[in-house]
Amino acid sequence: MPELVLELNGRTWTLDASRPHTLGRDPQGDIVLDDARVSWRHATISW
User: Which amino acid would we find at residue 26?
Assistant: D
Range of the domain at 9: 3-45
26: domain CATH number is 2.60.200.20
Number of structural domains in the chain:
1
pLDDT at 2: 87
pLDDT at 47: 84
pTM: 0.80
* DSSP-assigned letters across all residues of 1-47: --EEEEEETTEEEEEETTS-EEEES-TTSSEE---TTS-TT-EEE--
Give the mean pLDDT per block of 10 residues along the chain (47 residues). Answer: 92 95 98 96 95
